[in-house]
Structure 1
């Protein structure tokens, strides 16, 4: 099997697209879809081992990719890596700023070091990648950037550091869209809601067992999303079909962000509608598999 994308085969043939955080989760899924559509995908992340495993998957599926292991918070490393990519590929057509991370904690317990680390991962790193890709390629050739943020509407209790960084990335998206439009560069953002991604594996399983069913119950579509439902939107925004879209944040959350504007609305179990998962190599987090087997998710 290969990735079952909703976009036309060959949509990105001859193009080079960078995906940060490409070694796992949503980034891995996006990298697979882009490669299935003909792009040369450059996988970027801190773990060379994880990147190598994804690269092996992509190549075994017939795709084309390369990889660079670095910390996107390191300005010199970002500059040198982008230079190496441009030298090898001549032009960068797309950048997906997906890398990031956080940990659950109330604001009163977050130390300055932890707060700064999350902001640097989710905001500074994305800025450095976007700036260098713009300066070294897109300023001359144009291109498209998609920043992955999060569902931070109405605040992010227990994730205040991440919410602040993601809000900053949304504003940065708008600023970059304005400043770089004259160079043919489009900049958009995608804000995922609760997605069935390997990112769940980084949290305490008991913490998730308690919270995940409640997450589902608060979503109008009454289910969590699939990685492929994020990837499809990202690939659309990178494609020529989105040529007149820039400076926008697309929320993919099953309607969960709408609840903040409807205080009288009370959720009720729903059918959830159609579910799309074209990613042939998708993997459920273990705690999610257990909850689904128990009928709790």
Structure 2
């Protein structure tokens, strides 16, 4: 099998797209789809073994891929990594700022060190990657940047550090779209809601019941798939979105629209199979998170 994208084959032929956090989860899925559509995908992450494995998967499907281990929180490492990519590939047409992470804890229990770690991963690292791609590759040739944020609309209780970082990234997206338009660079964001991804398995076991229950707070009555998130990213990177910049595309099944006191009615099993809302999963290597299998 191969990736079953809804987009035109060869859509990104000849293009080089960098995907941070490409060694697992949503980033892995995005990398596979971009490679299936003809892009040379450059995987970025901290764990070489994961990058190596995903690169092997893409090569086995006939895709073009390379990888560079990098801690995106380190400014000099980011500068060096982007320079190496430009030397090796000659260009960078797209950047998907997907790398991120957080942990569950109330605000009063977050230390300064913990706060900084999450801010640096989810905001500062994305800024550094975008800035260097712009300066070293896109300023003279144009390009497209997609920042992955989160469903932080109206707050993120127990993940206040991540909510602050993601909100900051939305603001950065809007500012960069305005400032870099002169160079022919578009900057957008994708905000995934509750997506059934391997990232769910990074939370402690006691979070399992809460994670499994989250789909019941979504008007569409289910979790989203990695492929549905990837499709939003691919659209924003594509020429079909050439007049879209500074926007944040939500992929969340209308979850932020839920209001206390409103008796939400979720689709039944029959309705969930209707074409307009049934899950799309084009990723041939997709696996449900372990926490959702129990």
TM bin (shorter chain): over 0.9
Question: Of 269, 274, 281, which residue of structure 2 is paired with 1:277?
Answer: 281
State whether residues 212 and 292 of structure 2, in contact with CA within 8 Å, keep that contact through their aligned partners in structure 1. no
Q: What is residue 233 of structure 2 aligned with on the other side?
A: 234
Q: Mind listing any 5+ residue stretches in structure 2 that lack a counterpart?
A: none
How far apart, in 1, do the equivalents of 2:185 and 2:261 lie? Answer: 42
Unaligned stretches of 5+ residues in structure 1: 291-297
Q: How far apart, CA to CA, are the structure 2 residues paired with 1:161 and 1:174?
A: 20
In structure 1, how many angstroms separate the alpha carbons of the residues matched to 2:91 and 2:263? 50
How far off its partner does 1:213 sit?
A: 3.8
Q: Are positions 1:217 and 2:188 aligned together?
A: no
How far, CA to CA, are the matches of 1:42 and 1:246 in structure 2? 23
Deviations 1:216-238 (A, max 9, x none): 11100010100000000000100
| Distance in 2 between residues matched to 1:230 and 1:125, nearest whole Å | 21
Q: CA deviation at 1:207?
A: 1.2
Once superposed, which parts of structure 1, at least 4 consecutive aligned residues long, lie more than 3 Å away? Answer: none
CA distance in 1 between counterparts of 2:60 and 2:145 reads 27
**Which residue is 2:118 aligned to?**
118
TM-aligned CA deviation for residue 54 of structure 1: 0.1
Count of aligned pairs: 287
Q: 1:140 Cα deviation (Å)?
A: 0.6
In the alignment, which residue of structure 1 is the partner of 2:79? 79
Length-normalised TM-score, structure 1: 0.95
Q: Is the 8 A contact 2:14 2:40 kept in 1?
A: yes
Farther-moved stretch of structure 1 (47-56 vs 212-221): 212-221
Query: CA offset at residue 284 of structure 1?
Result: 1.1
TM-score, L = length of structure 2: 0.96
Match of 2:290 in 1: 286
Equivalent in the alignment of 1:128: 128
Please give the root-mean-square deviation of Cα atoms over the aligned residues, in Å: 0.9
Tell me the alpha carbon deviations over residues 101-150 of structure 1, each in whole angstroms, 9 at most, x when there is no partner: 10000101111100000000000000000000000010011000000000
